[in-house]
Amino acid sequence: MNGPDFFDKASLITAHDEGNAFDAVVPPIVQTSLFTFPNYDEMLETYRGEKVRPTYTRGLNPTVRMFEEMLAKLEGAEDAIGFASGMSAISSAVLSFVEPGDRIVAVRHIYPDAFRLFGTLLARMRIEVTYVDGRDEAAVASALPGAKLFYMESPTSWVMEAHDIGALAALAKSRGIPTIIDNSWASPVFQRPLSLGVDVVVHSASKYLGGHSDVVAGVVAGSKGLIGRIRGEAYPYLGGKLSPFDAWLLIRGLRTLPIRMRAHQASGLEIARRLQDHPIVEKVCHPGLANLLPAGLTGTSGLFSFVFRDGIDIRTFADRLKLFKLGVSWGGHESLIVPGEVVLQQKAQPNSAMAFGVHPRSVRLHVGLEGTEALWSDLEAAIDASEEKT
Ligand SMILES: *Cc1c(COP(=O)(O)O)cnc(C)c1O
């Protein structure tokens, strides 16, 4: 939000490694599955753990490691691990903390596929999940006793409920319960959960970290001890390894993360305010419209939702938009919409969309980098067209 903060963080990601081949500003992609040893003794030392060097890319790859170190610095973490997707990061992290018979407490309206992971694979392992409104600290406090893990996301998916992360993390800490948070929405530019007392941060790097809609990836960050626990079992044996090329794309994406986030924030907030003032809009779910952001959240991104009043043809609205494309995901340069009434008809999991708080007259917007006025004209024209029809 404020200048100095951005540029402090920017220095963490713009510095390049002088040790790179040819002093290249952009690091080479070490696109290899394995690394050979010059002799028997070096292989033996490596296997004995006396020497740390790449052996096989599912374990350690220099390009992936460079991304992990940059992300760890941004989150203020001791260590990080890259994954092949956000879901791979989430499942590996969660499975490192629970066993059959355990109970997890989760905030409600988490990312739908995380909700489905909990309701399918984890349920089959007899792991139970209690959902609570993360804005209700008393409800969180009464759900926590006996839980093995507290799973957070703030702001939450679709309805964007924002929480006082520090307060919630303290409630879990006082009971010795480890905490994981999905920080994809705010990115480390606007929210650094480890500094607020959360134990482990997960990201869908497919969103803002990558920033160009050309990579699916994930990352987990935290202390050496907790990341070591994930690195020891779930990471190698579930095997959701981040590829060197995707890591290289993420390194490229991170260079511009702070300035992209500033642009998404400015356009997103302006469009949210104009929608809120528009007579056809019933409600806008954007944490930046409250008088105060929750403690620890220092800015807002470009993803939010709003609910139309009765009497709008959402199909016409969607088809009339030119800059906003119909599409899932978010965090790239492009503006996107997802109509709630479509999500509610998702065949694979008919009932689960209700659990995410999706209103049938709602629309989720991702405000990209096309420019506020152009995007607003696009929205206004589509709204006018869909009002005329009804
Ligand atoms: C997209 C998303 C995920 C899943 O990430 P993938 O990279 O698609 O596996 C997790 N959490 C949130 C909040 C997301 O938006």
Helix 372-388 to helix 257-277 angle (10° resolution) is 30
**Can you give the pLDDT of all 390 residues of the chain as single tens digits?**
344 454 455 555 555 554 567 788 888 899 999 999 999 999 999 999 999 999 999 999 999 999 999 999 999 999 999 999 999 999 999 999 999 999 999 999 999 999 999 999 999 999 999 999 999 999 999 999 999 999 999 999 999 999 999 999 999 999 999 999 999 999 999 999 999 999 999 999 999 999 999 999 999 999 999 999 999 999 999 999 999 999 999 999 999 999 999 999 999 999 999 999 999 999 999 999 998 999 999 999 999 999 999 989 999 999 999 999 999 999 999 999 999 999 988 876 645 655 678 999 999 999 999 999 999 999 999 999 998 654
Interacting residues of 378 by C-beta distance below 8 A, sequence separation 6+ = 321, 322, 323, 324, 335
Instruction: Single out the catalytic residue among 9, 108, 111, 199.
Output: 111
Does ligand 1 have an atom closer than 6 angstroms to the CB of 161? no
Per-residue buried b or exposed e for 287-320, using 16+ beta carbons within 10 Å of the residue's own CB: bbbeeebbebbebbbbbbbbbbeeebbbebbbeb
Q: Is 350 exposed, middle or buried (CB count within 10 Å of its CB: 0-12, 13-18, 19+)?
A: exposed
Q: What is the pLDDT of residue 7?
A: 46
Does ligand 1 have an atom closer than 6 angstroms to the CB of 210? no
Does ligand 1 have an atom closer than 6 angstroms to the CB of 182? yes
**Alpha-carbon separation of residue 341 from 84, 165, 349 (angstroms):** 30, 31, 14
Q: Which ligand 1 atom is at minimum distance from the Cα of 216?
A: 7
CA triple 132-137-139, angle to 5 deg:
45
Helix (H, G, I), strand (E, B) or coil at 120: helix
Best residue among 191, 207, 329, 343 to mutate for probing ligand 1's pocket (most ligand atoms within 8 Å of CB) is: 207
CA 239 to chain centre: 20
- Residue 214 and residue 196: Cα distance in Å, rounded? 31
- Residue 54 and residue 42: Cα distance in Å, rounded? 12
Domains along the sequence of the chain with CATH: 8-254 (3.40.640.10), 257-386 (3.90.1150.10)
Q: Which two tokens stand for residue 332?
A: 């790239």
**Alpha-carbon separation of residue 293 from 131, 296, 333 (angstroms):** 23, 8, 25
| Residue 58 appears among annotated catalytic residues | yes
| Residue 5 appears among annotated catalytic residues | no
Q: Is 23 exposed, middle or buried (CB count within 10 Å of its CB: 0-12, 13-18, 19+)?
A: exposed
Q: Which two tokens stand for residue 191?
A: 């929210």
Protein residue with least CA distance to atom 7, ligand 1: 86
Q: What is the pLDDT of residue 105?
A: 98
Helix (H, G, I), strand (E, B) or coil at 158: coil
Instruction: Single out the catalytic residue among 9, 73, 182, 199.
Output: 182
What spacing in Å lies between the alpha carbon of 270 and ligand 1's midpoint?
25
Protein residue with least CA distance to atom 5, ligand 1: 86
Contact at 8 Å (CB) between 315 and 370? no
